[in-house]
Chain A
Amino acid sequence: MHTQIVLEMRGISKAFPGVRALHNVDFTLRRGEVHALMGENGAGKSTLIKVMTGVYAKDAGRITIDGATIHFRSPQEAQNFGVGTVYQEISLCPNLTVAENMFIGRGRRGFVNWNRMNGDATRLLESLCIPARPTQELSNCSLAVQQMIAIARAVDMECKILILDEPTSSLDEDEVRRLFALMRELKSRGVGIVFVTHFLDQVYEVSDRITVLRDGELVGEYAASSLPQIELVAKMLGKELGDVAGIRNRRPRTAESGIPVFEATGLSSAAGVRPFDFSIHKGEVNGFAGLLGSGRSESVRAIYAADKVTGGSVRVNGKSVRIGKPIQAMKLGIGYLPEDRKGDGIIAELSVRENIILALQVMEGFFKPFSRKQAEAFADEYIRLLNIKTPSTGTPIKALSGGNQQKVILARWLLTHPEYLILDEPTRGIDVGTKVEIQKLVLKLAEEGVSVTFISSEIEEMLRTCSRLIVMRDRCVVGELEDSGLTQNDVMHVIAGGAEKPCDE
């Protein structure tokens, strides 16, 4: 019996055109442990995983599983070998049913037994409390549900290695808790689990060991118990993290007086959000709080007219206006960073440069293209400002790591210098260091007089930045919380149902 090691990667290197994503990285996974893989955006975590599962061919290095050297040429081989993976960007097929997505590509049977598959799926969905029907088309499920389905699929595979790349990025606390319970159970069965996340608390909650990557190189492997959080952050960033606590003090006061920058009454949209009132003042930062699927995204989409607006009136700086299309919102100084980065945000094939200048360019108009030089200058400025890791401004955005893609979209809106900026989950998939940077940025913007609506599934993060929280449940606004004394518990209480006002039809 040769040790407990199930997976061993030695000297892994992988280069993409223009970047060295991995350089001589070692990674060891033992049976029955949860091993967190940590690092900043673009550190190479996802790449390491993809090299392991055969999505990418490695340039150098050796991978052994259970002592045997293996070389997967496709994810299929990895899967057949007992490696279950949930990739960072949900990789399911939107046109298949939920059940199919759970079982496709598995097993050797030549024909599908729909009854049995749906039955199995129902059981699996129920056991994990996933609110979806097996016969539903996947595209009808929300992102979170899709993520849960992907996890359910991987978990169900009876694998010896389970890899979870940021599985929790769009889950709520309840679901995270359930996922962790599941991970512990699998662990007890001897499964080795690789876990990637940017939530430090979560790391410490489930992980036994932590491997840190930085800029594609191995920093080290540590036992979770012996690595304090501060030190972990320092190792990830290669420097000490600025004081998070300091942020809170600089929280802006609500500008109570004066005309709101944006004001809506009875706004509703075709996506199904109930009519709601909303306003934001100059320099204010507010946010929508609520459980997953409570309609936060839909509300801000209604403000930006991303969905068809079906009712309500809107005033910008006191003037009554009609916002029927995103371009009208943009012209009024509203910017919107969408929640679904892949679907609504990036233009995958276009370059980082084009992605950055897109919104400003559109506002300039069809007949006023920026010169190449100007565009480069804009792109360079924001790549520096947000510390975006990209080989060049000409790289297609799809070649960037998830977190860096998010920064590009943020840059796009900052470049338009909006008066009012809506950020829906801007910190999803963003590393700790940058997360703090973004929070600081939001507050700095507010100081400069920009109004910001900030949505995050981390209530703590919202508390740190927002001066006012609008609470939603079941697609309707149920309350509003203000002032600095708020704690996470207060908010949870309101969200959970101590309703201040009933949800009226």
Chain B
Amino acid sequence: GGKKTAAAGASPIKVGIVNLPPEESGYRQANVEDMNKTFAAANGYEARQTNTADNSEQIAAAAGYIRDGVDYLLISAANASGWDNVLKSAKDAGVKVFLFDRLIETDASNYQAALVSDMYAEGSIAMDWLLKQGLGAYNVILIRGQLGSAAEKGRSDAVLKARDAGKIKLVADGTGGDSWSLEEARKVVEAAITAGKDFNVIFAENDGMAQGAVQALDAAGITHGKGGKVKVIGFDFNRFALRNVQAGYWDLDVQCSPRQAAQIAGWIQDLKAGKPIPSGIVYQTEIGIDTASITNDIVLNKGINADPGEGVITR
């Protein structure tokens, strides 16, 4: 990431940001905050942000920004398609487009660069870690997120591949629904427990659902975490999740960084300075953290959302 300080007196860089609404998820809240903070007036930007989960509203907003004459357009698309026209008019108007967090299915020449998380890689990080645990049998409960979402596809993929390869057994395959719901996740695990299923891994596709699953385990008196019967895996690097890992209450959390703003701002500064910047898809590098590798530094610097403090676990 580049540190940017605007030359005093220079006219601000106009940026239009089309994003999903912060109400969408904790990830998005962090992402939106990050955008707002980075592209603040103090840093020499005049940024406007439209937050909506509706594709047509997003496209309308992008078109509006182009008409308003922004210099850069940053897009996190709700829907991977339908953007061709608007991207072309951006090109015609000399507006540079950066995609972040979500890809758009279009010709790569239609945008400058896309900075995204690799959901497939995230799934693989978790699966690779799991298969190294030497559990003997892997009886997994998979709790998916919103079906069809990029995160669900990528993260499920690793599990399904491992199953097809006969490395693990999928004992239950549920979903937290469109809201990645803690409650729904809890129900999935409860159903497995009351049906007398034997399982030793919970692969929950985000932290909230992992928490719901853990609640179900606790209520049923099933041990988990370090030294426990069930391995618990979550995603997103919420600080509370990291603290749970730190306390040995959960086993693994995989990062999915919402902080793309600094990187993109760096590119913008580079462009201004005439330096070359990458084009096409750029994946963020992400990590998985287990009870052994966790440090306070990671929790504080890489985690997102509220920090309950060291040693505090969420029941």
Question: Is there a contact between chains A and B in the complex with CB atoms less than 8 Å apart?
Answer: no
CB within 8 Å of A: which residues of B? none
CB within 8 Å of B: which residues of A? none
